[in-house]
Chain A
């Protein structure tokens, strides 16, 4: 029995999620959604949606998460990573402890960024309410689902963060906690990369932190792919541009956003 998560589960999570995204794209390319909810208030000027600290946090987090995923993936499935390592001319099989160290350093950097994020958004901007799923999100999500399955022609205006974005954020919190706990446990008490292969199963505790770490890790990879997909989708480009320059134009706000939900960072 493998000491890590079985490939069918790990890659299954990623594959099924990607399949869902492909279905979404196919559906939306043929029947795009048109917002028909009347505006509650007209925007008279471009709105600042993300301040400089938020934008810096977002892009720094993306870079750090990418490195965590790359180093973590190399440790989970080196044979698939081997061609990339060969192409880059970096060692792989002889450098497992270095990959673990890099993984730990980037994870610690992620923890620092999270600290800054919590301090800035929760304490200074008091934006916790914005990220907490509300009844409105549930109603919007339901309507969007009905629209997706052709059960309704209505489509709601978008808030700054929709139900999916808030779910992604919640998953990030939960998975970060689980991944940190299982990762720290492995590092100190079940460091399989320091022992011969036939001892891996012997140092793995009964509650299988490596399996949990792998499953949550692949869940995170799948959701990051989903986040990139929705972030790059044409309909969400105004938010993507706002993540670069901070603002959404008033015409875009009036076309498909709830201006009162976008006010303030």
Chain B
């Protein structure tokens, strides 16, 4: 209870936090994207454009873009992102100035996260937040589905919550190097050898010219 009260002090109201935690339990038991008021997209997914679930790589530090859309007729006054326990929070930021971030460290029975307050999301508008997270390590063929919970808070204690899964997969690497780097290194070696060939041939020609003169 004391831990919850501590969270409440940092986020702004015991009733709000109590309701939020109730909602956490409710939302976690619902299918994902029921409310679809927020999306979580790791940079890896954004760039690779793969898969039916946002994906990131085990063990790597990735930037997670959280887009929150206010679907209500009232302005949202805060956003809380609950981060699954296996992740390590490195950094947090918002795309617009004025949002004040506060870390909510994980405590026994309460998962950690980040809250943003100090601005409003007007009805129908969106706000974007970024979390830099170190992904948990996963085993080969043992991808983990981790669930983020995004809560929008409104004045008067109303809340909206969205559950967003992210798949953490085993790094697609060979000898610790990702496939793209490996392939392009080999291509670069081919051209370096050709360059070497050209230099040797040029030196040979110079030697021939010198010996002739």
Interface residues of B in 43-93 (CB under 8 A from A): 43-54
A172 interface residue, CB < 8 Å from B?
A: no
Cross-chain contact A7 with B52 (CB below 8 angstroms): no
Interface residues of B in 162-202 (CB under 8 A from A): 172, 178-184, 186-187, 189-191, 193-194, 197-198, 201
B41 interface residue, CB < 8 Å from A?
A: yes
Report the 6 A-B pairs with minimum CB-CB distance, sorted nearest first: A79-B47, A18-B186, A2-B50, A11-B179, A11-B183, A15-B183
* Contact digits for B85-112, partner A, Cβ 8 Å, 1 yes 0 no: 0000000000000000000000000000
Interface of A toward B, CB cutoff 8 Å: 1-4, 6-8, 10-12, 14-15, 18-19, 21-22, 25, 29, 77-80, 82, 93, 192-193, 197-198, 200-202, 225, 228-229, 232-234
Cross-chain contact A3 with B51 (CB below 8 angstroms): yes
Cross-chain contact A18 with B51 (CB below 8 angstroms): no
Q: How far is the CB of B95 from chain A (nearest CB, A)?
A: 14
User: What are 13 A-to-B residue pairs whose CB atoms are below 8 Å?
Assistant: A1-B51, A3-B49, A3-B50, A12-B179, A14-B184, A18-B187, A21-B190, A22-B190, A25-B190, A80-B180, A197-B45, A225-B190, A229-B194
Give Cα A18–Cα B188 distance, bound, in whole angstroms.
9
Cross-chain contact B189 with A234 (CB below 8 angstroms): no
Choose among A4, A7, A8, A78 the residue with the greatest number of B CB atoms under 10 Å from its CB: A7
Cross-chain contact B50 with A19 (CB below 8 angstroms): no
Contact of A7 among B46, B47, B49, B180 (CB under 8 A): B180
Cross-chain contact A7 with B172 (CB below 8 angstroms): yes
Cross-chain contact B179 with A15 (CB below 8 angstroms): yes
Counting contact residues on chain B (CB < 8 A from A), the size range is 20 to 34
Q: How far is the CB of B182 from chain A (nearest CB, A)?
A: 6
Give Cα A4–Cα B193 distance, bound, in whole angstroms.
32
Cross-chain contact A234 with B47 (CB below 8 angstroms): no
Choose among B41, B52, B181, B189 the residue with the greatest number of A CB atoms under 10 Å from its CB: B52
Q: How far is the CB of A32 from chain B (nearest CB, A)?
A: 11
Q: Taking A12-B179, A77-B48, A79-B47 as contacts, is the C-beta distance between A197 and B190 under 8 angstroms?
A: no
Residues of A within 8 A of B50 (CB): 2-4, 200
Residues of A within 8 A of B194 (CB): 25, 229, 232-233
Give Cα A15–Cα B43 distance, bound, in whole angstroms.
25
Cross-chain contact A25 with B182 (CB below 8 angstroms): no
Q: Taking A78-B48, A197-B41, A201-B52 as contacts, is the C-beta distance between A19 and B186 under 8 angstroms?
A: yes
Choose among A19, A80, A202 the residue with the greatest number of B CB atoms under 10 Å from its CB: A80
Nearest chain A residue, comparing its CB with the CB of B47: A79
Nearest chain B residue, comparing its CB with the CB of A81: B47
Nearest chain A residue, comparing its CB with the CB of B174: A8
Give Cα A70–Cα B103 distance, bound, in whole angstroms.
42
Residues of B within 8 A of A3 (CB): 49-51
Nearest chain B residue, comparing its CB with the CB of A79: B47
Q: How far is the CB of B8 from chain A (nearest CB, A)?
A: 34
Cross-chain contact A200 with B49 (CB below 8 angstroms): yes
Cross-chain contact B49 with A192 (CB below 8 angstroms): yes
Q: Taking A29-B197, A77-B180, A93-B47 as contacts, is the C-beta distance between A8 and B172 under 8 angstroms?
A: yes
